[in-house]
Structure 1
Amino acid sequence: ASHLDKQIKVSSPISSSIILDSFPPSQAFFNRSWNPVMVPLLNFLQSTDSFLMLNAYPYYDYRQSNGAISLDYALFKPLAPNKEAVDANTLVHYTNVFDAIVDATYSAMAFLNFTNIPVIVTETGWPSKGDSNEPDATLENANTYNSNLIRHVMNKTGTPKNPGVAVSTYIYELYNEDMKPGPLSEKHWGLFEANGDPVYILRLTGSGSLLSNDTTNQTYCTAKDDADPKMLQAALDWACGPGKVDCSPLLQGKPCYEPDNVIAHATYAFNTYYHRMGKTSDACDFNGVADITTTDPSNEI
Structure 2
Amino acid sequence: MVNAYPFFAYAANSDVISLDYALLKENPGVVDSGNGLKYHSLLEAQLDAVHSAMSAIQYNDVKLVVTETGWPSLGDEAEIGAGEANAAAYNGNLVKRVLTGNGTPLRPQEPLDVYLFALFNENEKPGPTSERNYGLFYPNEKRVYDVPFTLEQVGDGQSMPVNKSSSPVPAVQSDGKVSTTSTAGQTWCVANGNAGAEKLQAGLDYACGEGGADCRPIQVGSACYSPSTVEAHASYAFNSYYQKKARGAGTCDFGGAAYVVTQQPGFGNCKFPTDGGA
- CA distance in 1 between counterparts of 2:98 and 2:147 reads 14
Matched, 1:70 2:18: yes
Mapping for residues 212-231 of structure 1, pairs under 5 Å: 212=164
1:144 to 89, 96, 107: 89
- The answer to whether the 8 A contact 1:74-1:98 is kept is yes
- How far 1:144 sits from its partner (Å)? 0.1
Deviations 1:26-46 (A, max 9, x none): xxxxxxxxxxxxxxxxxxxxx
Structure 2 unaligned spans of 5+:
154-158, 168-278
Q: Which amino acid aligns with 1:54?
A: V
Aligned length: 160
Which structure has the bigger radius of gyration?
Answer: 1
Indicate how the Cα distance of structure 1 residues 85 and 208 shifts in structure 2: closer, same or farther if over 3 A, else same.
Answer: closer
How large is the RMSD of aligned CA atoms in angstroms?
2.0
Matched, 1:169 2:117: no
- The answer to whether the 8 A contact 1:173-1:190 is kept is yes
- CA distance in 2 between counterparts of 1:122 and 1:213 reads 22
Q: Which amino acid aligns with 1:170?
A: Y
Deviations 1:262-289 (A, max 9, x none): xxxxxxxxxxxxxxxxxxxxxxxxxxxx
Matched, 1:190 2:138: no
2:38 to 93, 103, 108: 93
Structure 1 unaligned spans of 5+:
1-52, 216-301
Indicate how the Cα distance of structure 1 residues 213 and 124 shifts in structure 2: closer, same or farther if over 3 A, else same.
Answer: farther
Q: Which amino acid aligns with 2:2?
A: L
SS of structure 2 residue aligned to 1:122: strand
Deviations 1:8-33 (A, max 9, x none): xxxxxxxxxxxxxxxxxxxxxxxxxx
- How far 1:198 sits from its partner (Å)? 1.1
In proportion to residue count, which structure has more helix?
Answer: 1
- The answer to whether the 8 A contact 2:122-2:132 is kept is yes
Matched, 1:58 2:11: no
- CA distance in 1 between counterparts of 2:117 and 2:147 reads 14
Q: Percent identity?
A: 39
> What residue is the counterpart of 1:130 in the other structure?
75
Indicate how the Cα distance of structure 1 residues 213 and 194 shifts in structure 2: closer, same or farther if over 3 A, else same.
Answer: farther
- How far 1:208 sits from its partner (Å)? 8.6
Q: Which amino acid aligns with 2:20?
A: D
> What residue is the counterpart of 1:159 in the other structure?
104
What is the TM-score when the length of structure 1 is the normalising length?
0.50
> What residue is the counterpart of 1:119 in the other structure?
64
- The answer to whether the 8 A contact 2:96-2:162 is kept is no
Indicate how the Cα distance of structure 1 residues 89 and 210 shifts in structure 2: closer, same or farther if over 3 A, else same.
Answer: closer
- How far 1:213 sits from its partner (Å)? 5.2
- The answer to whether the 8 A contact 1:75-1:141 is kept is yes
Indicate how the Cα distance of structure 1 residues 61 and 183 shifts in structure 2: closer, same or farther if over 3 A, else same.
Answer: same
- The answer to whether the 8 A contact 1:127-1:188 is kept is yes
Q: Which amino acid aligns with 2:146?
A: I
> What residue is the counterpart of 2:148 in the other structure?
203
